Structure formats: C-alpha cells, structure tokens
Chain A
Amino acid sequence: MNQFTFESKQKTVLLSFMGLGLLCLLLTFFTDSQPMHMRFWTNLLHNTVFFTGIAFIILFFLAANITAWAGWYTLFKRVWESMASFMIPGLALFLVIIAGMWLGWHELYHWMDADTVANDPVLAGKSSFLNKNWYTFGTLIIVGVWIFFAWKLRQLSLEEDKMGGPQFSQHHRMRIWAAAFLPLAGFSSAALIWQWVMSVDAHWYSTLFAWYSAASWFVAAGAFTILLLIWLKSKGYYSEVTKEHLHDVGKYVFAFSVFWTYLWFSQYMLIWYANNGEETVYFQTRHQQYPVLFYGNLILNFVMPFLILMRNDTKRKNGTLIFASLIVFFGHWIDYFLMIKPGALHTAHELAAAHGAEAAHGAEHAAEAVHHASNFAAGFTIPGLLEIGTMLGFAALFIYVVLNKLTQAPLVPANDPYLGESEHHQVWYEFGEDEEVAHH
C-alpha cells in the first residue's frame, strides 16, 4: 500500500469536525461579550498562527534535514511535505484577519487604533513597523515565499520519483533550495512572529520571543508527525516505517520539549531577575490572572513529556508516544493561547474604557472595565468549550489538507539517495526484543 486512499468516511468525520469548528466560531461571534468581537478574532488568530506555524516549521525542519544529509526520515518525507502544504490555507486565513484589519471589523492589536497610537509615544515610536501595511504585505510576501519553497521542494521530490537516476540531480537541486530556505526562514519568521503574536502585547518586547514561539511550533509539529504516522500505520500504510523511526521523532519531541523549556526559563528568569517594569508586566499579568494556564503550560510542555519520554522504551511504544504527543500538541496550543489572549483582553478593556469615556459615561465606567481585568473572562481566562471546539475544527481542517495532499503522491518516495538508509534505519539494539527489528 504505497498509495494513500482518503476514504469518504474519514472525510465525513473530518468535515463534521470542521462543521463543529465553524459552528463554535459562529457561536463565539454572536455571544461575544468583548468589544469588537475580541473573543472570536483572537480564536481565529490563535488557531491560524498555531497551525500555519506548524506547517512552516516542518518545512524548515525538512530543509534542515536535507541540508544536514540526514537519511533517517526519507521513508516518510511525504508526510512533512504534506504538512507544509497547510501554509496555503493558512495564508487564506490570515487574509481574513487582514481583511478585518482594513475593514475595521476588529481591533485585535492595540497599535491598530489610530487615536491610541497618537497619544502613546511608545506605540507611536513603533508605528513604522507596527502598522497595517507592514502586517499585510509582510504576511503576504513572507508566507508567499515560504509557500514557494514548499512547492519547489515538493516538485523536486515528485520529479525525483519519476525521473530520478544514479546522478541524483533532483536531490542535489533540493539541497540548494533547502539550504537557501534556512537563513531566509530564520530571518523572516522572526519578523512575522513579532507582528502576529508579540505585538498583541504592543508595548512589550523580548528578543528571545521569536525563537521561543518557533520552538513551540516545532514540538507541536513533531507530536503531530508521530500521531499521523501511527495512525497511518494502523491503517496498513507505511509498513516500512518502524519503531526505529518513531523513536527518532520521539527523541526530537523530547529534546525540543527540553529546549522549549530552556527558552521559557531564559526568557522568564531574565525578566524576573532584572525586574524592569516594561518587561515584567507580561509575566505579572499571566502569573496573577492566568495561574492555571501559567503553571499548566509548564506541566504539559515540560514535566509531562520529560517524564514520559525520557526512557528509551517509551519512545518505541505506540501507547506512550500517542499519550505524550497528544499532551504536548494540546500543551503548545495552550502556550499560544497564553501568548495571545491576555494581551488581547487588555486591548479589549482599553477599548471598552475608551469607548466608555466617549459615551460620556465617564471615568467610572472605565475604572469598572479595568477592574474587570482581574475577573474571569469567558474564552480568555481558560479555553472554554467554544475554544476547544474551534481548535478541533482547525485540527480537522489541518488533517484534511494533509491527508488530501498525501493522496497526490506515493507514500514512500522513490530514487531518493537516502532511501536505503531510511529503510534500514536502526537506532537501538535491544536484546530479546519480541518483534524482529527492521532487518531484511
């Protein structure tokens, strides 16, 4: 079975989940108590950033593997090529946010409000970067370039299947494209992360932020890879992909969970230590008003994968791999939730205060709005059912796109120079292991 068939039953299930997601989004839109439908728009932004980021980071990882002459992943590289293709719907989703920005449907970012910027020297100072033009064209051009590279690598990979020969000319060309993509992606992803996510807290800044969020994407992408591979194997596909391969993806998830924690700690500790008000406000808010998520983030994304995946054997068993992958996938979704929601809620309160003042209700109303900041806010303090439903909808969309892409090419590529290495990949020799290891 080298050709994936997307069964109609699977499509139905995924489409119903997408329907659920859409329904949740609509419900959020109409029941939203925040000004400018902030809950709805943050949910859209949160999931768009999260899933587009996963598609981007897996392309980055694929390019890094090609550049580093890695041979272990070749068998299932189509999975990563397919995941990267989600950048196209991802860009379409960003277009909705961008359209909303120009048409005044939302105030996701505080810097979008011209009156605020005019009266705020810090935001005014940033306005040559934090503005609608930069956001729009930055997103369009940069994601466009990423999509181009994803397409290029995919084309060469498909061409190799059909026309590859002993010269491996397609592979040599892929190396050039992959290597060129790495620095480009390194610089451009930071610019977009600052725009998309960091500028939600428009006053706040941290030089580490872009690497931190990219690490978050990467762990989620690794976890998704594990889940998808195990599922495909359970359907009878990818019989050549063994626990040896899963072990290595598991190692990446483990290692980058630790790396993510390292970055989390570096960012948090340095800001805590220096105790500079402009910076500490970010963690102060999260620590005080979002304690469940603040600590939960560390438990889900560090403690759990660290303890579960530390041993060799847990990276070789489906049960533990699935468990750990589900946890960190959800955990990093929570991480993005925590990056976006508090800042957006603050913006919403500021807007309410400003509008309240305009409506001549005066300072009392504004004070009340600010006071509300410390109280529970549905869809902000913790993810509600609507958020979970929306996430499931987006996940279904993501899976749909990936599976649909998988149908378009043979699952195992042909003529890749590293195919033999990947087929005979072995990371661990276990004495008395019950199943026969991948030796033919």
Chain B
Amino acid sequence: MSTVVSPIREPLIEGGKTYHDITEDIAAPTERTPSVAWVLAFMVAVSGLALYVFCLGWTIWNGIGTWNLNRTIGWGWDITNFVWWIGIGHAGTLISAILLLFRQKWRTGVNRAAEAMTIFAVMCAGQFPLIHMGRIWLAFFIFPYPNTRGPLWVNFNSPLLWDVFAISTYFTVSLLFWYTGLVPDLATLRDRSKGLRRKLYDFFSFGWTGSAKHWQRWESLSLVLAGLATPLVLSVHTIVSFDFATSVIPGWHTTIFPPYFVAGAIFSGFAMVQTLMVLTRKVLNLQEYITLSHIESMNKVILVTGSIVGVAYLTELFIAWYSGYIYEQFAFYNRVFGPYYWAYIGMMSCNVLSPQIFWFKKIRRSIFWTFVMSIFVNIGMWFERFVIIATTLARDYLPSSWSYYSPTWVEIGLFVGTLGLFFTLYLIFVRVAPVIAIAEVKAILKSAGDQFTGAKAQQHEGAQQQAH
C-alpha cells in the first residue's frame, strides 16, 4: 500500500467525514428503532421463512415424492437451488480475502455485508443436499466415522462427499473471517451502549480494548485467514462442479467446469451483493460509504466474470462440435434447441449478453440499471444451473426414457422459502451489527476520503500527487 494516491482515483468516502462521523453513521442503524421499510421487509421475509418451514415439513412428512423428480430427471430444482446459493456465497469471501490480498481499498465499503451474505447463502445452500436425501433423519450418514453399520462407510471416491468437507470448511472459515472483522466493531457498539445491550456486545466482542497488541494480532489473523480463504473460494465451487464433471454424462463431463463454475459463482455472488447494497445503502442512508465508485467497481467485476462465463459457454459449445463425439454434440444441440431451449435463452441473455451494457460508464454508475442487472444476473445464473442439470438429464442415452420435468408447488415453495430464510437473516444482521466495517473504513480515510483525494480534495500533504 502506498501513502501516495494517484490524482485520478476517486474518493471512496464522501461527505468529508471525520473518524467520529464514521462511527456515528455506521453505528446508527443498530441503535435506532427500525424504520417502517425495515419492518415491512422483515414481515415479508419472515413470511417467506414460514413458507419454507411449511414446505420443508411437507417434504419430510410426505417424502420427496411430493416433488416432480422422476427416474430420468433425478435432480431438479433441489440441486439447482443448492448450486445457485453456493455460488452466491462466493462473493463475500472473494471480497474479503482476494481483494484484501490485492490491497483493494474499495472492499472496505462492502466486505462486511458481503461476508454476512456469504454465510447466509451457504446456510440456504446447505439445506438442499440434506432434504433431497429424502430421509433427513439419516443425514448423519454423510459423516465418515467409525460406525456400527459394519463396513458401510461413506464413499470417499464421490465428489458428493467432498462437497460435505469443502462446504463445511468454507462455512467455518468464512464465519471466522466475518466474526474476526466484527470484533473491533462490536466493541465500538459496546462502548456506545448501556444495560443489556452493553452486556451482550461486551460478551461478543471478546474483551477487545483496541490496544496496539490487539490490532497487531487482528491484522495478522486477517491475513492468515485471507490466505486460507483464497484457495477455499476456488475449491468450493470446483468441487460442486466435480459433482457433474466427474460423471460420463455428455454435457456434464467437461474439463472447463471447475474454473468456469468458480467464475460463475463470483459473478452471481457479486450480483447478489449489488442487489443487497443498492437497497441497504438507500434504506440505511449509507450512500457516502457505499459510493457510486463502489457500485461501478462491482459492476466491472460482473462484466468481467460474465464475459469469462461467456467464453466458457462458447468453448463448451465449440468443443462439443470439435470433439466429434456424437453424444456430446447431441447434448449441446439439445441444450440450445431442445425442449428447454427457453432456459438456454434465459441463461445466455441474462449472463452473457445483458451484462455487456456495463461497457458504458453511465450504466455502470446508474443505480437503476445496476439493480435491474443484478436481478437479471441472479435469474440468469439460476437458469444456468437448471440448464446444466435438468436439460442434460432430460435426454439421456435411451430415447424411451426421455422425460420432461416441471416443479411442484412444494419445490417452488422451498426455493422461495430459502429466499425468506436468507432475507430474514440479513435483515436481523443489519439491525445488530455494523453493516460496514467501521474500523476498516477508518483505516482508509486518510487515503480515500474525499477531503484528501479526488476533485474536491483540499491541498493536503497525504494527497499530494507525484513526487517529482
């Protein structure tokens, strides 16, 4: 990190904030009575959660026969939703870990919320492998432990088992990362609160006093966790992709899956961050911390990852032809022109074509278009998983077993319900913890505050341009 800031960098904190302003602004949402908007949103989210609980109970009570899966299409909305949520859970750790390693200062505006989102998304994702087992009370069978079932062990050769390890590791490290970052900020809240609130924040901030030693250890731990989390960002979706790519099913077995799934996951994760940030900054009045610059940077990441995914789609399509392997060729013909052609169109248009509007700076910096596009990408990435899963399975080697699949109300309810779960958790989070990392924003104030850098900056030593 350099102390000199290029004159063309835009400030990342607007409004000429002081350190005290930062504390006040970011702590405020946790200290005031919730707004009407929050209450309404919470009611909707909890209703969604209730729907989830109902559909979950229905599924467990009646069995997954209440879903429309059939012998040919054994994975439908369940695994589509699983992969979709896992993908969304990538942005948080990417922002906190990889952008930390790259010393990207704009991460401080969005990392806290993105990490929280990651954890909630992984929690939603984790539901689906469990419930699609059918007999959820046997879910502990996925853990490899010396058991009384004789030689019956988990299948160590199966990527489905690797998923268990990968996702639980990822969840643990993401949680640690998020919580480590929270500790100093929880202490800030503690110092400002009284009574029971103070006791609770005192407990959760682990006796943080802000001594130099604390900060030093905190910094080291952040770097170590970043180093650990970086390979994890890649490993989780890599292993999810192995669920498909290790098979010999045409359309699933392709070597580009691991990196392409990771790129797609970051893509969808950033889209969900945008959806949340655009709303959060408005509702909590944080536009000076999550600026248009932040939004523009994230839109650029969306453009890049969307285009990488586009390269991968076309590579797959081309190599399917190039391979000369007729089953592969048929699988891709079927993807584009088969009974699920509409899903392919949805995927291509939402993921590859529409993000190209972010080539225009005006659109990258437009709140309206950012929000619309974030929804588009969320939809597109859901379609992508549906295309990969259902379309591929629908036309297998035996034409007599070809099938078509559409979800029942239970499956739709489960999906909508996890959105309820996700937003319930997120809305609680913005009430109890600072939605922006107070300490980290303060750390960049001198190099990225608008009184120090950018067009409005006063002449200040730290903001002076080039040395010669």
Contacts and interface: CB of A to CB of B under 8 A. Distances in A.
Interface string B249-292: 00001111111000000000000000000000000000000000
A69 B323 contact: no
A278 B3 contact: no
A307 to B, nearest CB: 15
Nearest to B317: A207
A425 B1 CA distance: 6
A205 interface: yes
A162 interface: no
Contacts of B259: 208, 211, 262-263, 266
Interface stretch (A95-103, A120-128, A135-143, A227-235): A120-128
A47 B255 CA distance: 26
B69 interface: no
Interface string A250-284: 01000000100011001101110111101000000
Contact of B2 (A69, A71, A207): A71
Contacts of B247: 274
A207 B6 contact: no
Nearest to A438: B2
Contacts of B319: 205-207
B8 A171 contact: yes
B4 interface: yes
Interface stretch (A183-191, A369-377, A384-392): A183-191
Instruction: For chain B, give the interface size range.
Output: 35 or more
Contacts of B304: 182
B255 A129 contact: no
Contacts of B359: 179
B256 A211 contact: yes
B466 A420 contact: yes
B258 A129 contact: no
Contacts of A206: 255-256, 319
A271 B314 CA distance: 20
Contacts of A278: 323, 325
Given A207-B254, A208-B256, A421 B245 contact: no
A423 B324 contact: no
B21 to A, nearest CB: 27
Contacts of A275: 248
A190 B315 CA distance: 8
Given A121-B324, A420-B465, A421-B6, A266 B255 contact: yes
B9 interface: yes
Contacts of A267: 255
A295 B467 CA distance: 49
Contact of B6 (A71, A166, A187): A71
B228 to A, nearest CB: 13
Nearest to B307: A183
In the complex, which of the residues B3, B4, B231 has the most CB atoms of chain A within 10 Å of its own CB atom?
B4
B2 A421 contact: yes
B246 A423 contact: no
B465 to A, nearest CB: 6
Contacts of B253: 270, 274, 276
A270 B324 contact: no
B436 interface: no
A402 to B, nearest CB: 27
A210 interface: yes
Instruction: For chain A, give the interface size range.
Output: 35 or more
A274 B4 contact: no
B257 to A, nearest CB: 7
A425 B9 CA distance: 16
Contact of B314 (A187, A205, A427): A187
B6 A440 contact: no
Contacts of B103: 427
Contacts of B322: 126, 129, 194, 205
Nearest to A204: B323
A304 B314 CA distance: 35
Interface in A270-304: 270-271, 273-276, 278
Contact of B9 (A69, A210, A423): A69
Interface in A153-189: 166, 168, 171, 179, 182-183, 186-187
Interface string B22-39: 000000000000000000
Contacts of B323: 205, 278
Nearest to A244: B2
Interface string B212-252: 00000000000000000001001000100010011110000
Nearest to A211: B259
Interface string B300-322: 10001001100110111001001
Nearest to B466: A420
Contacts of A205: 319, 322-323
Contacts of B8: 168, 171, 417-418
Interface string B331-359: 00000000000000000000000000001
Contacts of A269: 242, 246
A142 B253 CA distance: 30
Given A270-B242, A270-B246, A420-B6, A258 B231 contact: yes
A38 B392 CA distance: 42
Given A186-B307, A274-B253, A276-B248, A262 B258 contact: yes
B5 interface: yes
B407 interface: no
A131 interface: no
A209 B316 CA distance: 11
A116 interface: no
A426 interface: yes
Contact of B311 (A187, A258, A263, A427): A187
B467 A424 contact: yes
Contacts of B258: 208, 262-263, 266, 270
B7 interface: yes
Contacts of A251: 101
A421 B8 CA distance: 11
A263 B101 CA distance: 21
A38 to B, nearest CB: 24
A418 B6 contact: yes
B359 to A, nearest CB: 8
A15 interface: no
A274 B246 CA distance: 5
A23 interface: no
Contacts of B9: 69
B246 A420 contact: no
A93 interface: no
B255 A207 contact: yes
Contact of A270 (B245, B308, B311): B245
Given A171-B8, A187-B311, A125 B324 contact: yes
B246 A273 contact: yes
A425 B5 CA distance: 10
17 contacts: A71-B2, A125-B324, A205-B319, A206-B255, A207-B254, A207-B316, A207-B319, A208-B256, A208-B258, A208-B259, A262-B234, A269-B242, A270-B258, A274-B253, A420-B465, A420-B467, A421-B4
User: Shortest 8 CB-CB distances between A and B: which pairs?
Assistant: A207-B256, A420-B466, A208-B255, A266-B258, A122-B324, A424-B2, A420-B4, A273-B246
Given A269-B242, A427-B103, 20 more contacts: A168-B7, A186-B311, A190-B311, A203-B324, A205-B322, A210-B315, A262-B258, A266-B238, A266-B258, A266-B259, A270-B255, A274-B246, A275-B248, A276-B248, A278-B323, A419-B466, A420-B6, A423-B4, A424-B3, A440-B467
Interface of A: 67, 69, 71-72, 121-122, 125-126, 129, 166, 168, 171, 179, 182-183, 186-187, 190, 194, 203, 205-211, 251, 258, 262-263, 266-267, 269-271, 273-276, 278, 417-427, 440
